[in-house]
C-alpha cells in the first residue's frame, strides 16, 4: 500500500459543512459512490501534444513519470485519492528556460468511456513564455484529472483548460505555484461533462508573482458544475484577479466558491474576485460565494463580489428594435457575456480557437 492510499483510507468522509463540499458531497463525485473504495483497473485517456495548428512541437517534452508530488497541500481527500488512482500514470510537460513560441501548445486528452485518471505536471523554466491549451473530449464515465504546475522566475504562462467531455463526471484538482516575477493567465472553459467538481488552487509565495484567473462556463440541461477556486498570497508584492462568468440554462446548477487568502507578511498584495451568473431559464440555479481572509494590514487592495440575473430586457429590446429576433438577441447577449472573459484568455488566434471549441454548446443553453 502506497503512502497516498494509506493516507486516503485513514481519512473520514469530508462533511458537507466543509466549504469545499457544501454543494457537491464527495460521494456524489466519487467514481463508485463508496467513500471507502478505491477503484482498481483505472484506465488512461489518450494524450497528444502538438501546436494548435497540428504541427509538431520542438524543444518542449511530454514524458511519463512514475509519480510527481503535489507542489503544496490542498484538500487531503482529493489530493490523496487522485495521487493514488494516477500512480504510474503521470506526465510531465517540461518547457525549457527562455523557450518561447508564437504558436500555442495543444494538449489533447481523449477519454474512452470508462473510469480513467491522469496526473499532468507542468514545469515552465525561467524566462520562458508559453500558451498551453488543454482540451478534454470523448465519451466519459468518470475522469480524475490532477493538474499541477510550477512556473520559473520571470516566466509568462497562459494555461487554459477546455472541457468538452460527453456526459459523465469530471473530478479536477489543480495546484499551481507561481515563481518570482512570473505572470500566469489561467482560464477555464467548460461546455461538457454532466457533473463537474473542481478544486483549483494557486499559491503566490514568491515576490512579484501575478495571476489572472478567468472562467467562461456554459451550464445546460441537467448539468451540475461546482468550481472551488482558492488563491493564497503569502509573499509581498503579489497580484491576483479572479473573474468567473457562467451562463446557466435548462435545469442546470452552477456553483462557484472563491477563497482569497492574504497571509501575514504578504505586504502590498493586490487581489480581487468577482462572479457573474446569467440565468437563462426559471429552472436554472446558480450559487456564488466569494470569501476573503486577510491577515495583513499593508495591502494595496482586496475585494470580492457576485451578481446573478437574467438577460437584461432593455438590452434585448435594443437589439430587437434593430432587427434581431427575440432568440437572436438573446444569443448575442449570451455570447457577449461569455466573451468578456474569453477575450482576456489570449490573443486573437487563441480567442478564435476557443470560440470554435464551444460554439456548438450554445444551442443547448435555452432548453
Residue 67 confidence (pLDDT) above 80 = no
Residue 98 CB neighbours (<10 A): 13
Range of the domain at 81: 3-364
Between CA 91 and CA 108 the distance in angstroms is: 13
Kindly give the residue spans of alpha helices, DSSP state H, lying in the chain.
3-10, 26-29, 76-85, 313-320, 326-342, 348-358
Between CA 86 and CA 74 the distance in angstroms is: 17
Between CA 258 and CA 291 the distance in angstroms is: 6
> CA gyration radius for the chain?
20
Residue 328 CB neighbours (<10 A): 13
pTM for this prediction: 0.95
Please give the pLDDT value at position 19.
82
* Confidence grade of residue 337 (pLDDT, cut at 50, 70, 90): confident
Between CA 167 and CA 142 the distance in angstroms is: 9
pLDDT tens digits, 267-299: 999 999 999 999 988 999 999 999 999 999 999
Mean pLDDT of all residues in 115-131: 97
Please give the pLDDT value at position 365.
59
Residue 26 confidence (pLDDT) above 90 = yes
Between CA 278 and CA 103 the distance in angstroms is: 33
Cα torsion 314, 319, 325, 330: sign: negative
Bridge partners (DSSP) of residue 17 are none
Percent of the chain residues topping a pLDDT of 70: 98
* Confidence grade of residue 315 (pLDDT, cut at 50, 70, 90): confident
Residue 252 confidence (pLDDT) above 90 = yes
Please give the pLDDT value at position 13.
94
Percent of the chain residues topping a pLDDT of 90: 78
Among the ranges given (61-70, 142-151, 182-191), the one the predictor scored with the smallest mean pLDDT:
61-70
Please give the pLDDT value at position 258.
93
For the chain, give the mean pLDDT. Answer: 93
Number of domains in the chain: 1
* Confidence grade of residue 146 (pLDDT, cut at 50, 70, 90): very high
Amino acid at each position: 500500500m502506497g503512502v497516498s492510499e494509506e493516507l486516503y483510507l485513514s481519512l473520514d468522509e469530508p462533511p458537507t459543512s466543509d466549504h469545499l463540499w457544501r454543494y457537491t458531497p464527495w460521494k456524489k463525485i466519487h467514481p463508485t459512490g463508496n467513500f471507502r473504495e478505491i477503484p482498481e483497473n483505472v484506465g488512461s485517456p489518450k494524450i497528444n501534444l502538438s501546436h494548435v495548428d497540428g504541427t509538431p512541437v520542438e524543444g518542449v517534452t511530454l514524458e511519463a513519470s512514475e509519480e510527481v508530488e503535489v507542489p503544496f497541500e490542498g484538500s487531503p481527500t482529493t489530493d490523496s485519492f487522485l495521487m493514488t488512482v494516477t500512480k504510474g500514470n503521470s506526465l510531465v510537460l517540461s518547457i525549457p528556460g527562455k523557450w518561447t513560441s508564437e504558436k500555442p501548445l495543444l494538449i489533447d486528452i481523449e477519454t474512452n468511456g470508462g473510469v480513467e485518471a491522469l496526473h499532468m505536471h507542468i514545469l515552465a523554466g525561467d524566462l520562458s513564455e508559453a500558451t498551453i491549451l488543454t482540451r478534454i473530449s470523448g465519451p466519459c464515465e468518470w475522469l480524475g484529472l490532477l493538474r499541477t504546475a510550477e512556473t520559473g522566475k520571470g516566466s509568462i504562462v497562459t494555461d487554459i483548460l477546455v472541457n468538452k467531455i460527453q456526459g459523465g463526471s469530471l473530478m479536477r484538482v489543480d495546484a499551481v505555484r507561481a515563481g518570482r516575477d512570473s505572470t500566469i493567465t489561467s482560464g477555464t472553459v467548460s461546455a461538457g461533462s454532466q457533473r463537474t467538481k473542481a478544486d483549483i488552487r494557486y499559491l503566490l509565495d514568491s515576490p512579484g508573482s501575478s495571476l489572472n484567473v478567468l472562467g467562461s462556463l456554459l451550464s445546460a440541461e441537467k448539468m451540475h458544475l461546482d468550481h472551488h477556486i482558492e488563491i493564497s498570497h503569502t509573499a509581498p508584492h503579489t497580484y491576483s484577479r479572479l473573474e468567473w462568468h457562467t451562463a446557466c440554462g435548462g435545469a442546470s446548477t452552477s456553483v462557484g466558491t472563491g477563497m482569497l487568502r492574504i497571509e501575514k507578511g504578504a505586504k502590498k498584495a493586490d487581489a480581487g474576485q468577482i462572479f457573474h451568473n446569467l440565468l437563462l431559464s426559471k429552472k436554472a440555479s446558480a450559487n456564488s460565494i466569494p470569501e476573503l481572509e486577510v491577515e495583513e494590514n499593508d495591502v494595496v487592495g482586496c475585494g470580492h463580489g457576485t451578481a446573478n440575473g437574467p438577460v437584461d430586457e432593455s438590452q434585448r429590446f435594443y437589439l430587437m428594435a434593430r432587427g434581431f429576433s427575440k432568440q437572436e438577441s438573446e444569443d448575442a447577449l449570451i455570447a457577449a457575456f461569455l466573451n468578456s472573459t474569453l477575450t482576456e484568455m489570449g490573443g486573437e488566434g487563441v480567442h478564435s480557437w476557443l470560440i470554435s471549441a464551444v460554439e456548438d454548446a450554445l444551442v443547448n443553453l435555452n432548453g
